[in-house]
Amino acid sequence: MAATRPANTRQHAMPAGHGEVPAASVAAGSVLVRACRREVVPHTPVWLMRQAGRYMPEYRAIRARQTMLEAIGDPATAAEITLQPVKALGVDAAIIFSDILPPLIGMGLDLDFVAGAGPRIANPVRASRDVDMLGTPPAEQTMRGTLGAIRLVREALPASTPLIGFAGAPFTLACYAIEGGSSQRYDLAKSFMYAEPAAWGRLMRRLVTVLADYLVAQARAGADLLQVFDSWAGALSPHDYARYVQPHNAALYRAVHAAGVPVINFSTGTGAYIDDVAACGGDVVGIDWRTPLDSVRARLGDRYSIMGNLDPIALLAPWRELKAQIDDVLMRAGSRPGHIFNLGHGILPSTPVDNVRRLVDYVHEATAPGYCP
């Protein structure tokens, strides 16, 4: 999908509509939203990152007919995919089918998803002048497909099932924008960060503007809670996170507070400085599988709910091993309110659907009052 870099359209501070708090969430009384508020709930809620994905045959059937960007941009298709795991698995939430990268298209980057290779950006940010060419148009102009899908899904879901909207975090999107795709070392992005600190700051502020506006727009469209994915934050040292990322993440979470819904702060590889990550904001801290939940509970106390954190690979294991690992996560989460069961990252394409269904059923059963193993 070709794109030219648009002129800047607004200031880089607050999202469009900032201060407009949406109407009360349809699913405000759901088990998941109550767990986000650290309330006592009848069972531990479960949802799974990439719960609508390639491991499901019905998803593969749809995707065989459309490219990734076509599926994301078509509200009816995105809504249908979003609802598939809710119907098939009994999870406690739907998460809108999309990707973290399409907001970059509206900023002027030429993004495509290449079969077998993943996302590719044809005109990556490599110089200070490239940053200044990036636009910050509102999500209502650039993300109509996803916002339309949110409206369709919210109408289709029962009030007891919340809908999750999401966006990437500034650092993770900056890395994609600079690297031009996925990376193992992030050498281009981190070199730009070190060599061009002023341009780095401008890039991050533009991303905060776009992402905050997008997240608030999703809540206005009907999302009952929001998640921010900082999937690549673990590439940073604690010093670099505090200097180059934390102030911008904090600005994002302050702006998204206008959405008036719970916000999940998710990152990977950040166990060494999870306190700094949590301090950026959000109601829930998502934990990857590398850091035990009990150690996070001890460090963060009762200031946040926690989410996680089964290793996605465990879903490929036989039930005796999978059950043992689920039990370990539940034990480490403890009996205090405010735990949401999830994976430490997304479901893998080779995951058996029956294992996912069994996981959801078992977590509900094992955390209900009166359960006797």
Positions annotated as catalytic residues are 50, 54, 63, 99, 176
How far is residue 144's CA from residue 290's CA, in Å, rounded to a whole number? 36
How far is residue 87's CA from residue 82's CA, in Å, rounded to a whole number? 10
Closest CA to 213 of 80, 1, 20: 20
